[in-house]
Amino acid sequence: MGDKVMDLLKSKLDKAHLKKLETINNKHVNEFLKKVITLCHPKDVYVCDGSDRDVKDIKDQSLAHGEERKLKWEGHTIHFDGYYDQARDKENTKFLVSENVNFDPNLNQTDRKKGLAELNEIFKGIMKDHTLYVLFFCLGPTDSRFSLPALQITDSTYVAHSEILLYRQGYEQFKKLKGSASADFFRFLHSEGELEGNVSKDIEKRRVYIDVEENIVYSVNTQYGGNTLGLKKLAMRLAINKGYREGWLTEHMFLMGVNGPGKRKGYFTGAFPSLCGKTSTSMLPGETIVGDDIAYLRIIKDKVHAVNVEKGMFGIIDGVNEKDDPILWKVLNRPYEVIFSNVLITEENLPFWKGKDPHIPEKGFNHSGQWYLGKTDSKDNEIPPAHKNARFTVSLDTLENVDENLDNPKGVEVAGIIYGGRDSDTSVPVEESFDWAHGIVTKGAALESETTAATLGKVGIRKFNPMSNLDFLSIPIGAYVEHNLKFGKKVSKPPRIYSVNYFLKDDQGNFLNSKTDKSIWIKWMAWRCHNDVKGIKTPTGIIPLYEDLKDLFKKVLDRNYTQDDYIKQFTVRIPENLAKIERVVNIYKKKVADAPQIIFKLLEEQKKRLLDAQNKMGDYISPLDLPPVDK
Ligand code: SPV
Ligand code: MN
């Protein structure tokens, strides 16, 4: 068997590439590659060992194929995804589930045998005109308890190049696996399929199928990063399942350092659905970034530690501007290595996106082809210059605010966990939970958010999204919540849990917060974690005292924060909070067969506190009328 595998590989790979595989000497890698070659018939095979030479080859080939084009600044390139391939395709992203397995009906799935047969058909001969790239990466820092080796096979140089920017090289780690009896690494197979004008043509055969039994994800006939970058949201689904079995967490979270008085720094993770301010929070001025999208959390010596699974950023570019995003601005407007996707190329060969400049170009080239102001698509919708979900990809080490612990194998100790969503009428801008279980249930598991452009479909509809992780769950929702609850109970002093809401509006529909206020909420949370400030107890948690915020606004933003603003932002909205509890309880009752009882218990207690307060003080309670807490 082994010999047959090597014979096939010898016939398909030239000597130099074969040698790179032989050095790794892993039969699971070889067997998987043989299967893929036999199925997909690539024209040739490129094995990337992560060396500067190989990395350069891949970037050069991406330009030569036209998957990326050069922009004006050295190092800047642009890639386009097809017009209908601009976001994660939730409908066609499915778990492959074996007949006898009882899988949560809330998670999109298909019969494993049928799914594999369908993939077999779709992948057959699909790479006949393409080079197949084999890449080795490591999820999490290398040489760490958090490290997970990952093998990416793709025929897209854009995917390969993006992953080189986004993930740590794992060739050395694969060498160390030598002789291991099991295929204890994640595998990702991607093909962009046939191209037309450099974009995937057979979009109706776009599939992302996840096989948690074998730790393999298949992605085909798509290019958009969220569907194709194996180590991003595809690996996340596998890692959630693995962490569940092994007692650790994979979360849709940024990870950042928040500077307190003196040299004190506290680390926070934050889970927000896509397009809700996750990246901009992790990039707040004066603080440091470890990661902006995915974190692994493990317990080390009675403390919760976290790492960034990635080492780069696949960030949303919409709205990025010089004033609000000075650090990103520099990277996006000087000669750094950046892959732009789905922005407009102007006549000066510069990228353009909404928010870059008030002056909108009259014409250019974008994801719809040649573009001019007023151009409409087949459904008569006006095509904006850049897609709302247009992105930039950079390595975090190009950012001047990158945290010193990015690659620390131990990760960083987590002081606080934040949950945030797009919520126009219910939650206050920042609030601390009473304890771990209260936070996990009422802030994490009860999270809702108004939809955005990061997935295909309508925007502006309130959606249930526990821990912002619903799209990526590979275990039943109830089990996932329970797993979170248990995780915090294993340590004597778990991180504090917060909610934030940047999207609260008044009755007239005006936002009650400005973009920069985020800095204040995060500083307040850091102060709270160190017992520097007291708070006010409301039926739903602990909120800041006016004086502390006033002090922080002055110190951090040099702004006078008025009591009037405070009252508007921190008024407890009882009817909206009650309605939210009802919605969430209903979902857990009707849809989540395995919902732990504690969810109902804690939500019921919260409801009772809200009703008591309503009886005494009415529907809308000013924070000034509520009592401060002792600690
Ligand atoms: C998100 O949508 O949450 C992202 C981008 O971080 S994607 O890779 O599409 O998931
Ligand atoms: Mn994300």
Taking CB atoms and a 6 Å cutoff, what residues make up the pocket around ligand 1?
88, 225-226, 232-233, 274, 293, 314, 454
Band the pLDDT of 259: cuts 50, 70, 90: very high
- Distance CA(423)–CA(503), nearest Å, equals 6
**Residues 241 and 264 both lie in one domain:** no
**Residues 294 and 154 both lie in one domain:** no
**Residues 150 and 215 both lie in one domain:** yes
Neighbour-count burial for 363-392, b at 16+ CB within 10 Å, e otherwise = ebbbbbeebeeeeeeeeeeebbbbbbbbbb
Ligand 1 atom with the smallest distance to the CA of 293 is 6
> Is residue 1 predicted with pLDDT exceeding 60?
no
**Residues 130 and 277 both lie in one domain:** no
pTM score over 0.85? yes
Q: % helix / strand / coil in the chain, to the nearest 5?
A: 35, 25, 40
Q: Report the DSSP pairing between strands 462-464 and 541-544.
A: unpaired
Number of domains in the chain: 2
Evaluate whether residue 486 is within a structural domain: yes
Look at residues 219, 247, 275 and tell me which one is the last residue of a structural domain: 247
Here the CATH number for the domain that contains residue 592 is: 3.90.228.20
What confidence tens digit (pLDDT) does each residue in 426-475 have? 999 999 999 999 999 999 999 999 876 656 666 678 999 999 999 999 99
Mutation test residue for ligand 1: of 231, 314, 341, the one with most atoms within 8 Å of CB: 314
- Distance CA(619)–CA(101), nearest Å, equals 47
Name the packing angle between helices 597-617 and 574-590 (round to 10°).
160
Domain residue limits at 198: 3-67+85-247
Whose Cα sits closest to atom 5 in ligand 1? 226
**Residue 9: other Cβ atoms inside 10 A:** 20
**Residues 174 and 273 both lie in one domain:** no
What confidence tens digit (pLDDT) does each residue in 403-422 have? 999 999 999 999 999 999 99
Evaluate whether residue 350 is within a structural domain: no
Evaluate whether residue 98 is within a structural domain: yes
**Residues 219 and 266 both lie in one domain:** no
Mutation test residue for ligand 1: of 274, 276, 309, the one with most atoms within 8 Å of CB: 274
**Residues 239 and 283 both lie in one domain:** no
**Residues 560 and 424 both lie in one domain:** yes
Evaluate whether residue 219 is within a structural domain: yes
Mean pLDDT of the 613-620 span:
98
**Residue 94: other Cβ atoms inside 10 A:** 18
Mean pLDDT of the 267-279 span:
93
Main-chain dihedrals φ then ψ at residue 22, nearest 5 degrees: -65, -35
Count of positions (residues) in the chain: 631
pLDDT at 98: 97
How many angstroms separate the Cα of 246 from the Cα of each of 242, 281, 483?
6, 30, 11
Q: Report the DSSP pairing between strands 168-169 and 131-139.
A: antiparallel
Tell which residue, 434, 432, 431, 469, has the closest CA to residue 449.
469
Query: Residue 375, by phi and psi: left (phi above 0), alpha (psi -120 to 50) or beta?
Result: beta
pLDDT at 274: 83
Ligand 1 atom with the smallest distance to the CA of 233 is 10
Long-range contact pairs involving 364-372 (C-beta distance under 8 Å, separation at least 24): 366/80, 366/342, 367/80, 367/81, 367/82, 367/83, 367/86, 367/342, 368/83, 369/197, 371/344
**Residues 574 and 616 both lie in one domain:** yes
Q: Hey, what are 124's tokens?
A: 């057959």
Evaluate whether residue 353 is within a structural domain: no
**Residues 567 and 622 both lie in one domain:** yes
**Residues 272 and 230 both lie in one domain:** no
pLDDT at 181: 60
Q: Which residues surround ligand 2, an ion (CB under 5 A)?
A: 293
How many angstroms separate the Cα of 105 from the Cα of each of 440, 467, 593?
23, 19, 9
Here the CATH number for the domain that contains residue 62 is: 3.40.449.10
Evaluate whether residue 212 is within a structural domain: yes
Evaluate whether residue 184 is within a structural domain: yes
Evaluate whether residue 317 is within a structural domain: no
**Residues 133 and 184 both lie in one domain:** yes
